[in-house]
A and B are shown apart, each in its own frame.
Chain A
Amino acid sequence: MELSVKGIVRRFGPVTALGGVDLDVAEGEFLTILGPSGSGKTTLLKTVAGFEIPDEGRVLLGGEDVTLAPPRRRDVGMVFQNYALFPHMSVAQNVAFPLEMRRRPRDEVKRRVIEALRLVELEGYGDRLPRQLSGGQQQRVALARAVVFGPRLLLLDEPFGALDRKLRESLQLEVRRLQRQLRLTTLFITHDQEEALIMSDRIAVMDKGRIEQVGAPGDLYAHPATRFVADFLGESNLLDGSASAGHAAIPGFGAVPLPAGQPDGGVTLLLRPEALRIAADAAAMPCRGQGKVLETVFLGQSAKLRMALDGGGEVLARLPLRPSDPPPAREGETVAVGFAPEDLHVVPRG
């Protein structure tokens, strides 16, 4: 493992920011730490970077224990949330900084700065000051500065937060391309689940100072281990029912079949909004109910419906739309709603 975090605990007075975190990142892997603000993800990043000393636990980089090593001894490149470019230095001076600190010869510095700027497509911008660049360009300078010295690990602390949506999307793909090209082991921090799904090899979902689940994006989305993960990643309908004899009684849908081996008792089921079909499309579905449409939201390529089920409870449905499709339902209308049981996921720790 390139990065191993073992049993990290960090307390601030009475608050436990990190309550025993274990995490492994393989060489060349892009791992995202996803969590709401206050989940401890930034503290974890700072611990890995060396700006925080944990109360308990160890940080290993390439097998070497760096728990107490100062940041400068870790060979970790970091892109800060606000980029933290040195405002009084030119772009080239910013990128040269880590090389100069490593006392590389002058011609090597020059060559590698040019290479790094070419990598982020900012050739010819070397003489500008950071404030003369746009937000996206500043971001790319920060990235060049973080990778120019060939770090063992790249840390990205919500680097796209301040950018508008279009730019963010193109930069996400660019960072991803660069990361693959350089085979950089990367730890990425974000609260944006969509961003996490787009960019990551694996995602670690954090809440209240603990890692809830680690897995590939598709796996986490389809098989969340906890209620928090199911709720935080994507949109979700969490249905509470009781299981008996391989079936669960769910208000509004009656008895639905469960995967084999499900013990009797209380159970939480995850049903993604896109698994639901309404009206005529619902007729072909094995599990059916009926509900009143409370709200419809048009989203371009799909429509979102909030429905009150006849048996009690609310569900969210997301219906794909083609440009020629009429609106799927009107607010106030009562329609059939259904899904296939294989789209149900039992949340183990509901």
Chain B
Amino acid sequence: MSSPGDSRRTTARRRETALFLLAVPALLLLGIIFAWPVLRLLAMSVEDGTLANFEKATLDELYLYVLFDSVKIAAMVMAICLLVAYPVAFWLSRAGRWGVALGMFALLLPFWTSVLVRTYAWLVLLGRNGVVNRWLRDAGLIDAPLPLLHNTSGVLIGMVHVLLPYMVFPIYASLLRIDPDLSRAAEGLGAPAWRSFLRVTFPLSLPGVSAGCALVFVLSLGFFITPALLGGGRVIMVSMLIEQQVREFLDWPFAAALSTVLLVATLAIYALIGRITRGARHA
């Protein structure tokens, strides 16, 4: 016996199944090229039946230092990106048609250019006799060239440049979603522009800030090309360490353990950022 209610539920369930089928190709692709390799990696790291590789990765001072340094650099890149990107996103959200077109062009052109090309361009710009140092010297601002390359500054400059759009776009999108009447209402109720920004616009843009921070941080933590080239071997990130283990020492299990540690650290920090911004929003 089936009541009309049952057949309705069946129809509804069929619709849900049909919708789910649409997601299957993407899920398969993710499963094959992401989930499976990650699991393999995990398996590889404990191949010898012990947790020795993990012990080495998490207790050895050298590796801990590199991990800590990577997190520090990622956090700095994130912070600088946020400071630079927020004003840009804010200006874009208030700009006219031509302003937006110009801003998008300026952001997207480098975004679509190869990271490798851009990193080499920074090598030319930041060297001892690079364009930047020559300008500063010619302008009489400095006597000796600034050390901009093969150190943390170089890595930060290059990474911020590459990752800036990942911060600008989420913030821009969340600023656009805010009803413009809200800041008008705030001003009409007696708030100067800066208080209206602090009390209304900024808190409402936090979802974008959170998304941007998470994106930039996660991408920074695993960054390879830019720190490898601009750091000149003096700045070592976890990704470089992993590459070294595989390419030079052929120690796949240890590389796998390091990768797993990196993945867990990434997820943990990702969760932390989400929690902080959610907390700030309801403060």
Contacts and interface: CB of A to CB of B under 8 A. Distances in A.
Interface of A: 49-51, 70-72, 74-78, 80-82, 84, 86-88, 97-98, 101-102, 145-146, 149
B281 A97 contact: no
Contact of A78 (B188, B192, B195): B188
User: What 4 A-B pairs are tightest by C-beta distance, nearest first?
Assistant: A101-B190, A98-B189, A84-B185, A84-B181
A71 B184 contact: yes
Nearest to B191: A101
A77 B187 CA distance: 11
Interface stretch (B19-27, B163-171, B199-207): B199-207
Given A88-B204, A88-B281, A71 B187 contact: yes
B184 A51 contact: yes
Given A82-B181, A84-B181, A49 B188 contact: yes
Contacts of A49: 188
Most A-side CB within 10 Å, residue of B188, B195, B199, B282? B188
Contacts of B181: 80-82, 84
Contact of A50 (B188, B191, B195): B188
A70 B187 contact: yes
Nearest to A129: B282
B182 interface: yes
Contacts of B200: 86
Nearest to B190: A101
A80 to B, nearest CB: 5
Contacts of B191: 72, 97, 101
A80 B190 contact: no
A87 B185 CA distance: 12
- The prevalent SS among residues of B at the interface is helix
Contacts of B185: 78, 80, 84, 86
Contact of B188 (A71, A87, A88): A71
A185 to B, nearest CB: 16
Nearest to B181: A84
Contacts, number: 57
B179 interface: yes
A88 B198 CA distance: 12
A80 B282 CA distance: 24
Interface string B197-229: 001100110000000000000000000000000
Interface string B150-181: 00000000000000000000000000000101
Nearest to B187: A71
Contact of A97 (B179, B184, B189, B203): B189
B46 interface: no
Most A-side CB within 10 Å, residue of B185, B186, B189, B199? B189
Given A87-B204, A88-B204, A101-B195, A149 B182 contact: no
A84 B182 contact: yes
B280 to A, nearest CB: 10
A155 to B, nearest CB: 8
Contacts of B187: 70-72
Contacts of A74: 188
A101 B189 contact: yes
Contacts of B184: 51, 71, 80, 84
Nearest to B178: A87
Given A71-B188, A86-B186, A102-B190, 14 more contacts: A72-B191, A75-B190, A80-B181, A80-B184, A80-B185, A82-B179, A84-B182, A86-B199, A97-B186, A97-B189, A98-B190, A101-B189, A146-B189, A149-B190
B65 to A, nearest CB: 41
Contacts of B186: 86, 97
Contact of B189 (A81, A82, A149): A149
